[in-house]
Structure 1
């Protein structure tokens, strides 16, 4: 299985750190995190991202603009809004999206 590349955007540094740890715990997943949407956009354009996770403390307009940006530049990317609920919920959300895309 190919390694899935994740970009995580979140303004709460503690939660961002936890999400990075949880995603990177899977040997087939690789995540990079950002708290600044402009830096995240630059990284997104320079790298092949499979999934974008939007975490907590992102303003509504930033969430919408960043999602639109990602889908405009890479329509196949999966954007998941994850605002808590523990590691089990996060993994379920990711696996659900992979299943829907036929990647499982």
Structure 2
């Protein structure tokens, strides 16, 4: 079984370490961490990732640098902005990004 590869980008090393630990607690996921845009892009070009999780300290300007470059390599990559809030929220955010949206019910006239 292939694991979902998750690249977490967070400017705060202590928070990043916690995020990676929480990601890797799930046997279906493999987390790798980066502390800035440059490191994230080096990792993203070196191996495939399914999800990029933007953590603490990563603002819209940082995301605007990373997203187009990642999508040029993998158009299907999912992006998550994680604001903190504990392991339950992190897990829900990741599962939410990985779960395809449900089709809306057809309305009858």
Q: What is the TM-score normalised by the length of structure 2?
A: 0.85
**Matched residue of 2:99: which SS?**
helix
Question: Does structure 1 retain, via aligned residues, the 8 Å contact 2:44–2:70?
Answer: yes
Which residue pairs with 2:86 in the alignment? 86
| Deviating 4+ runs (over 3 angstroms) | none
Determine which structure has more spread, i.e. the larger CA radius of gyration. Answer: 2
Partner of 1:21: 21
Greater helix share, structure number: 1
Counting matched residue pairs gives: 102
Give the Cα–Cα distance (whole angstroms) in 2 for the partners of residues 101 and 7 of structure 1.
22
**Stretch deviating more after TM superposition (92-101 or 6-15):** 92-101
TM-score, normalization by structure 1: 0.89
Segments of 5+ residues of structure 1 without an aligned counterpart are: none
Q: CA deviation at 1:60?
A: 2.7
Mapping of residues 1-104 of structure 1, within 5 Å: 1-100=1-100
Greater mean alpha carbon deviation, residues 11-20 or residues 54-63: 54-63
Gapped regions of structure 2 (runs ≥ 5): 103-109
